[in-house]
Amino acid sequence: MSRQDAKPPGSPATTLHRACRLFVEAELAVDAEVALSPAQAHQLASVLRQAPGDVLRLFNGRDGEWLATIESLTRKAAVARAGERLQPQPVEAEISLCFAPIKQSRLDWLVEKATELGAGRLVPVITRRTQVPRINRDRLRAIAIEAAEQCERLTVPDIDPAVPLERFLVGWPAGRPLVTCIERADAPLLRAAVPPPPFGILIGPEGGFAPEEVAALLERVDVKPVSLGPRILRAETAGLAALAMCLGAA
């Protein structure tokens, strides 16, 4: 019995649904040859037991999603060829999630879930009370890519370098709203104060913003102070709750 004969029967739609989704940097177009990364080749050959002739779904954040066929595959290298475009590239709401970095396991979870929800950009902001002053952008980028592959999103959020709050505010685009969640502030609830995109969401660290940081934020006309409700939320919970509210209203 051949390998092809040994596969369980299934409709084309089922086969397509089960096809591995991979993010690639290359341009995608009809008949484009796409070299996959060594890590992707290893995953396909050693983990997923794929072979030449099997189908993939590829996306690059620019050209939509494409059906592709594996042309060559070893544990260290793979080449696929794009066939037809399955989906055009969607237009997504420009919403940046700006947050004070937290401990690694919780930060990984925040990046994964923010990607699934649809954040367009992730911006680590170092505040006076931030306990984690450095991040591993390559690690967070890999987590965001894997999350986009799994949730069938066609883009991967940009991840900025960590920047001090003062410098972040200087570089924030003039006139773009910055929805800022401030604990115990006399501010409207976020769900009633979501601006039209593009805009950003700013979440403070564990322990909240320092008083002088709150004062500096409130001096800016583009900062829109909001409340997430009566409870004090963990930093990652606050970020995802705010993002979900904003994306639901955008």
What pLDDT digit, counting tens, does each position of 175-230 carry? Answer: 999 999 987 778 889 988 899 999 999 999 988 999 999 999 999 999 999 999 88
Q: Are residues 35 and 126 in the same domain?
A: no
Enter the tokens of residue 93: 């709401």
How many structural domains compose the chain? 2
User: What pLDDT does 97 receive?
Assistant: 98
What are the CB-based long-range contacts (under 8 Å, 24+) for 172-179? Answer: 172/200, 172/222, 174/222, 175/222, 176/200, 176/222, 177/222, 177/224, 178/98, 178/202, 178/220, 178/222, 178/223, 178/224, 179/224, 179/226, 179/242, 179/246
Q: Are residues 204 and 148 in the same domain?
A: yes
Q: Which domain-ending residue is among 53, 87, 121?
A: 87
Q: Are residues 122 and 185 in the same domain?
A: yes
User: What pLDDT does 12 receive?
Assistant: 52
Q: Are residues 74 and 103 in the same domain?
A: no
3-state per-residue secondary structure call for 29-51: CCCCEEEECHHHHHHHHHHCCCC
Strand partners for 35: 79
- Which helix (DSSP H) or strand (DSSP E) does residue 215 occupy? helix 211-218
Residue 40 sits in a domain of what CATH number? 2.40.240.20
User: Using CA atoms, how far apart are residues 243 and 250, in angstroms rounded to an integer?
Assistant: 10
Q: Are residues 232 and 122 in the same domain?
A: yes
User: What pLDDT does 5 receive?
Assistant: 40
Q: Are residues 52 and 105 in the same domain?
A: no
Calculate Rg over the CA atoms of the chain. Answer: 21
User: What pLDDT does 186 receive?
Assistant: 81
Residue 94 DSSP class: -
Q: For the chain, which residues score pLDDT lower than 70?
A: 1-15, 17, 249-250
Domain around 81: 3-87
Residue 106 sits in a domain of what CATH number? 3.40.1280.10
Contact 31, 65 (CB under 8 A): no
